[in-house]
Amino acid sequence: MQSEDRGDGVDRVYWIPLYEILEERGFDVLLVNARDVHNVRGRKSDVSDCAWLRELHSVGLLRASFRPAAAIVPLCSYLRQRATLVEEAATRIQRMQKALTEMNLKLHTVLTRRPSRPSLPRLARGGRGRADR
């Protein structure tokens, strides 16, 4: 059996449960990158997509995309989710800095002005006490 991955970077995960079930039951499953399929000569339309993939597979023109072993898949999923969360956190920090800058509060400049001193105690003082020079 073959399945087509669009290869456009968008996570479409609807095929994963089917892939795993078929693999568990002993089927030889191929995940095929759509760019590879579209580069093969011949007519291809949405209507005849399944028959076209079957024909290419039967003559050995399909190359399977990499799919890690079943034991590694949860780790890859965890690492992908972590990377997404780190990226989202950075985006939110940048949004907060932009909002503060628009309010004429250069907080990120104050916090990074003297890297030798801890920034959190100065932030906790909230402007009370000694002035920052």
> CA-to-CA distance for 90 and 104, rounded, in angstroms?
21
Task: Please give the model's pTM, rounded to 2 decimal places.
Answer: 0.49
> CA-to-CA distance for 8 and 37, rounded, in angstroms?
14
pLDDT tens by residue, 5-50: 555 555 567 788 888 899 889 988 888 877 766 665 655 566 567 7
* Segment (H or E) for 121: helix 119-125
DSSP assignment of 16-38, as one string? Answer: HHHHHHHHHTT---EEEEHHHHH
Domain ranges of the chain: 2-58, 85-125
Of residues 56 and 26, the one with the higher pLDDT is 26
Query: Per-residue pLDDT averaged across 111-117, rounded?
Result: 56
For residue 54, give both structure tokens.
């079957």
For 85-107, give one letter per residue: b (16+ CB within 10 A) or e. eeeeeeeeeeeeeeeeeeeeeee
For 3, the 3-state DSSP assignment is strand
For 113, the 3-state DSSP assignment is helix
Please report the pLDDT score of residue 131 as a whole number: 54
Q: Does residue 55 register a pLDDT over 70?
A: yes
pLDDT tens by residue, 61-102: 888 888 888 889 889 989 999 999 999 998 998 898 888 888
Please report the pLDDT score of residue 48 as a whole number: 67
Please report the pLDDT score of residue 25 as a whole number: 93
